[in-house]
Amino acid sequence: MKLIKQTNILLKNSDTKDFLADAFYPEIDKKLPLVIFVHGYKGYKDWGAWNMMAEKFAEAGFFFVKFNFSHNGTTVEDPENFADLEAFGNNNYSKELSDLNVVIDHFTKDPKVDEQKIILIGHSRGGGISIIKTCEDERINGLITLASVDTLERFPTEEKLELWKENGVYYVENGRTKQQMPHYYQFFEDFKNDGHRFDVERSMEMAKAHVLIIHGTNDESVNVKNAEHLHLLNPTSELYLIENANHTFGAKEPWGDDTLPKGLNEVVEKSIEFIKQNI
C-alpha cells in the first residue's frame, strides 16, 4: 500500500499567525478517519519519532495529521528549531485552542477524510488542550491522551507569580537546546481570564467522546497519578499504563533508529486497536 506524505502544509489563522501541518495517509479509495496529533510544551511536529508514528497510523488506514502550534517557537521557515522565542513567550491556551480548531476545519474539508470520525491524540500539555477541545467540539468522537496533564494550572508559586507580574517575563531553560525560553505574563492572564474554559477536570467529566488514557509508570515529567485522576473523572474511559515507560515512551530528539522505541510502538498499537474497536 502506497503512503502519501504531505509535509509543511501552510495553515492560516487570522487570530494567531501562519503555521505548518503534515498529513500522512494511505492511497486508497475510501474516506479515512481523521487522527490529529497535538504536541505538548516545548514540542513540535517533527520532534523525535513522531514521523515514524505518523507512518504507522497511516499504514493502519488513518488520515494522520500533526502540526506545529503557531506560537510554539518554531517558524514557517524553520519548523524544527525554536527560532522565534518571542512567539514562544506570547503563546497561551487560547491561541493553542484556536490553532487546533483551524486544523480540524481545514482537514475535515479534505475529500479523503470521513468527517464523522475525528480523533484527537494529545501528548503532555497537548493532552490538556485536547481534552478541552473534545468537550467543546461535538465533531470529535475519539480522544487519546498520552502522558497528559490533568490540569493546565501549572504555574509558579504565589511568591514567584508576583515576581513574574513585576518583571513581565520569566525564563525556562530548554534542557536539550540550552535556550532560555521566555514566558510573558500574558500567559497567566489569559488563563485567569478564562479559567472556566481551561478547566481540564470539568472538560474531562463532560467529554462525550470515546476516551483512552495512556501513561508510562516512570514518567519523569507528568506523574502517572495525572492519568489515574483523569480516569476517575471520566469512568467510561479506558486507562492503559505502560510499565517503566517515560514521558516520551522511549523516544528522544533526534531519533536515529529505523524502528519505533518499544514504549511508543505499544502506544501506537494500543491506539490503533482502540480507534478500530470504538469509532
Dihedral of CA 56/60/58/218: which sign? negative
pTM higher than 0.95 for the full model? yes
Cβ neighbours of residue 175 under 8 Å, at least 6 residues apart?
none
Q: Per the structure block, which three cell numbers stand in for 253? A: 530528539
The CATH number of the domain where 62 resides is what?
Answer: 3.40.50.1820
The H or E element that residue 89 is part of is helix 85-89
Considering the chain, what is the average pLDDT of its residues?
Answer: 98
For residue 94, pLDDT over 90 is answered with yes
* Mean pLDDT along residues 28-54: 98
* pLDDT score at 220: 98
- Cα–Cα dist 159/33, whole Å: 47
* pLDDT score at 1: 86
User: Percent of the chain at pLDDT above 90?
Assistant: 99
Residues of the domain holding 34: 3-278
Strand ranges of the sheet holding 113-123, from the earlier edge strand across to the other edge = 3-11, 19-26, 63-67, 32-38, 113-123, 142-146, 210-216, 238-242
* Mean pLDDT along residues 216-229: 98
* pLDDT score at 127: 99
Which pairs from 194-202 meet CB under 8 Å and 24+ separation?
194/93, 194/94, 197/132, 197/136, 198/93, 198/132, 198/152, 198/153, 200/128, 200/131, 200/132, 200/149, 200/150, 200/151, 200/152, 201/150, 201/151, 201/229, 201/233, 202/135
For residue 270, pLDDT over 90 is answered with yes
For residue 18, pLDDT over 90 is answered with yes
Interval 130-171: pLDDT, tens: 999 999 999 999 999 999 999 999 998 889 999 999 999 999
- Cα–Cα dist 249/9, whole Å: 27
3-class DSSP state of 216: strand
For residue 104, pLDDT over 90 is answered with yes
Number of domains in the chain: 1
For residue 193, pLDDT over 90 is answered with yes
- Residue 133 in contact with residue 120, Cβ under 8 Å? yes
